[in-house]
Amino acid sequence: MVKRTGPTNKELKETILALKRTKKTVWKRVAEMLEKPSRQRKTLNIRDIDKNAKKGDTIIVPGKVLSEGLPSKKFSVSAWQFSSLAEEKLKKANCDVLSIHEIIKKNPNGKKVRIFG
């Protein structure tokens, strides 16, 4: 049986460590989700996020955001990865597109953050 070693991507490892260093429950939960194998991480379309998000929400996707659908309201989205088309569509709709490092700096306490995943 192969021993699980965790993520091998250096940037992902640094992101997980940064999340754990905050010592806030919401960020620790995101770190745990990112430590899972890539096939177990969430992949969401813009349509799915838009359907469940409210105007002005801050959304975190511990996985990848794909481009199917169009946002009908303005919200902030942070994810481990965005497809290039998804990022373009979100920016055209005036949604804030942030990396996980940026969202930690902007909101270190994790107040009013919703995790989709």
- Domain with 56 in it: 10-115
Q: Are 82 and 65 in contact (CB under 8 A)?
A: yes
Question: Does residue 34 carry a pLDDT above 90?
Answer: yes
CA angle 22, 28, 31 (to 5 degrees): 110
Q: Are 34 and 101 in contact (CB under 8 A)?
A: no
Domain presence at residue 31: yes
The CATH number assigned to the domain holding 110 equals 3.100.10.10
| Confidence category of residue 7, pLDDT binned at 50, 70, 90 | confident
Domain presence at residue 81: yes
Find tokens 């999340």 and name the residue.
19
Q: List pLDDT tens digits, range 54-111.
A: 999 999 999 999 999 999 999 999 999 999 999 999 999 999 999 999 999 999 998 9
Question: Does residue 1 carry a pLDDT above 80?
Answer: no
* Domain count within the chain: 1
pLDDT in the model for residue 115: 94
Question: Does residue 6 carry a pLDDT above 80?
Answer: no
**Which pTM was predicted?**
0.88
pLDDT in the model for residue 8: 81
Domain presence at residue 107: yes
Closest CA to 86 of 102, 68, 74: 68
Q: Are 108 and 25 in contact (CB under 8 A)?
A: no
